[in-house]
Each structure stands twice: as C-alpha cells, then as structure tokens.
Amino acid sequence: MSINCVSCTGRISNTGVPTGLKPFGFTQGLLYVPLVANDGTRNGIDVTSATLAQDIVDFINNPDPTKRAYPLLGLKSVDPTQAEATYETDDTNQKNKTLEGIKTMNFQKWGATNQEFAKLEDVCVEFGVYKIDNCGNLQGELEGDMLYPRDVNEGSYNADFMDATPTTTSKIMVQFDYDLLSSDADQWMIPFSSIEPFNMNQLKGMIDVNLEVLSVDSDTQITFKAFYDYGTAVQKQPFSGATTSDFTLYNNTTGSAIALTGATLTEDNAIDGQYVLSDIPTQTATNIVELDVFRPATANNVNGFEGVETTYESL
C-alpha cells in the first residue's frame, strides 16, 4: 500500500456516484484461501462463470486442500483497524506522506473449544481472505474476471485462546495484517443474489475425519472406526451415518484404486462410527491398502468431510 504504488493520471478523479449502490456490510465471516495451489495455479473465483454459486460450494469442498477455501463463520467483534500513514516532516513542520498505514483485521470466535483453536492456531502457507458480510455478500480483490482473496501478511498472523470466566465465554481471538500491497480500493463484492440458492453465511467448512483400522477380518473385509478431532479425551465424536460411497481404498503396493461399487458398509448398532466394510475385491496378501474418506457438502448448513487416511496390510 505504498503511496508510490498509486498511479497518477494528472487529474482529480470524478466524484459523481450513480444511485442504487449497496455497500458491503459488516463482516461476519471469512474464507481463508491459499494464494497458490500445489500445481502452481492461483486460487480465485471466475466472476463470469454461469455456475458461480456451485463454483463457490465446490471451492469450499475441493478435494485438493491447496485449492480449497476454508470458511470461518459467525465471527464476533470484527474490528478492522487502519494504522496511521507514515510522514516525513521537514524543518518547517510540513508533512510529506511516504507510506500508507497497514490495515489489520481483528476478530473473535465465541464459544470455541481448544480443539477448534488447534485448527486456527497457525496458518503456515501464504494465504489470503475473502470477507463475508451480514447479508452474505462475498468480497475479494478483482483482477480482470477473477476475484482473488485479499493477500494477508502471514507473518503477522496470531491466534490466542481465552478461557471462559463466570461472565465471559471461551474465545479464539485472531489478528493479522493485510499485505502491504493490497488496497481497499481494489475490493469488489459478489452479491448474495449471485450465490443463491446458497447462503455464504451458512456454507460450512470441512471436518477432519480420523480413521483407524481395528482388524483385517478376511481378504474381503475390514473393521475400522472413524472419528473427529473433536469430543473429549475419553470419547472422540464419531463420524456416524457414513455410506460406502464416502470411502475409497487404494492399493499402495500396486498403485491402483480398488473399486468399492460392489462393497457394503455396515455401521455397528452399538458403537457409532465403527464400521465393517465387506465384499471388498480381494487383494494380493501383504499388499498395503490405504483407506480414506471424502464427502463434499452440497447444501447450506451441511459440513463436508475429509479423511486422514490410514493403511492396513491385506490378508
């Protein structure tokens, strides 16, 4: 945001404004987005797409974590602050602006758990953010036909956990600076009407699912459990209600996918999140097989699920 980066046309800009403009509202949510995916492509939203609403849902549920948007919704005390500009003052006390002030984003998540804090404690990749306002409008940085996330100085990112007190709930408090070169003047919004039937304030993020193979029962059957990173030390919350199509098997030894179209998945009647996967195509004994799960969200208020894969040795 250096003042040297603002181009000068040699005239003052016209100040007329057409009627009917709706400004972006107050921020209630953010999408964290890696700036660049592992394949080298830049993450953004094509605003000319005929399937814009679905594109955004797919963005949040992309199977590639480096191409995914990570929503943080229901934010409280969102307080974007603008630091003062830097000036040089001459010997007659006349000021000359040398640098814009840095813009900082502060927000809180209330009623948060320590496990949620573990997810937000650090962001270790170069990332940017889209803002979501109270109406469900989405704001980012427009370049051509692409709306990119506003670049964040990830070195400035900090998250703290505040314990509950008799008068306050537990909170996660997050703060980061926008990149020096990003500008408020380049921010544009996608209106909520372009995202219907989805609501940006109701599109939830994906949940990590841990998998643990309990037993390899036969050459065509395994028993495993699936659970979240959340719950208690005694009982992690189970990933219950899964179906066969949520899971994938991959033979790491041969490097080939194992079709589960003819398989069945049965959840234990007594233990939620414990499953028996039967009628798996037989693999060569001692081959290493990888079990994973992925279920994208397809509607408002629904979470997608992504597995932390595990392996077992086939019989």
Partner 1 sequence: MADVLVGRTSFNADYLANITFEQALKHYSKPEEVVKQAWEKVNGKVKKKTKPKKKDTPKEDK
Q: Which stretch binds partner 1 (CB under 8 A): 12-20, 174-182, 228-236, 263-271?
A: 263-271
**How many C-beta atoms surround the C-beta of residue 141 within 10 A?**
21
Q: Smallest distance, Å, CB 177 to partner 1?
A: 45
**Among 99, 213, 265, 315, contact with partner 1 (rule: CB under 8 A):** 265
**Among 96, 168, 169, 264, contact with partner 1 (rule: CB under 8 A):** 264
**Among 64, 79, 212, 279, contact with partner 1 (rule: CB under 8 A):** 279
Q: Which stretch binds partner 1 (CB under 8 A): 56-64, 107-115, 170-178, 256-264?
A: 256-264
Check binding of 261 to partner 1 (CB under 8 A).
yes
Cα–Cα distances in angstroms (integers) from residue 75 to residues 53, 108, 133, 232, in the given order? 22, 6, 10, 24
Check binding of 235 to partner 1 (CB under 8 A).
no
Q: Smallest distance, Å, CB 294 to partner 1?
A: 12
**Among 15, 232, 269, 286, contact with partner 1 (rule: CB under 8 A):** 269
Q: Which amino acid is at 266?
A: T
Whether residue 294 contacts residue 307, with contact meaning beta carbons closer than 8 Å, is answered with yes
Rounded distance between C-alpha atoms, residue 80 and residue 16, angstroms:
27
Check binding of 258 to partner 1 (CB under 8 A).
no
242 vs 291, beta carbon nearer partner 1: 242
Check binding of 260 to partner 1 (CB under 8 A).
yes
By three-state DSSP, how is residue 271 classified?
A: coil
193 vs 243, beta carbon nearer partner 1: 243
DSSP assignment string, 47-111: TT-TTHHHHHHHHHT-SSGGG--EEE-S-BS---EEPPPEEEE-TTS-EEEEEPPPEEEEEEEET
Check binding of 220 to partner 1 (CB under 8 A).
yes
Residues 6+ apart with CB under 8 A from 291: 211, 213, 222, 224, 247, 248, 249, 277, 307, 309, 310, 311, 312
DSSP assignment string, 171-194: EEEEEEEEPTT--GGGEEEE-GGG
Burial class of residue 20 in the structure, from the number of CB atoms within 10 Å of its CB (0-12 exposed, 13-18 middle, 19+ buried): exposed
- Supply φ then ψ for residue 193, to 5 degrees: -70, -25
Check binding of 215 to partner 1 (CB under 8 A).
no
**Among 193, 245, 254, 311, contact with partner 1 (rule: CB under 8 A):** 245
Number of residues this chain uses to bind partner 1 (CB under 8 A): 18
Q: Smallest distance, Å, CB 304 to partner 1?
A: 16
**Among 27, 267, 283, 297, contact with partner 1 (rule: CB under 8 A):** 267
Q: Smallest distance, Å, CB 300 to partner 1?
A: 21
Q: Smallest distance, Å, CB 268 to partner 1?
A: 8
12 vs 270, beta carbon nearer partner 1: 270
Identify the residue whose tokens are 């080939």: 256
By three-state DSSP, how is residue 31 classified?
A: strand
Rounded distance between C-alpha atoms, residue 182 and residue 143, angstroms:
12
Q: Smallest distance, Å, CB 298 to partner 1?
A: 13
Interface positions with partner 1 (CB under 8 A): 220-221, 242-245, 260-269, 278-279
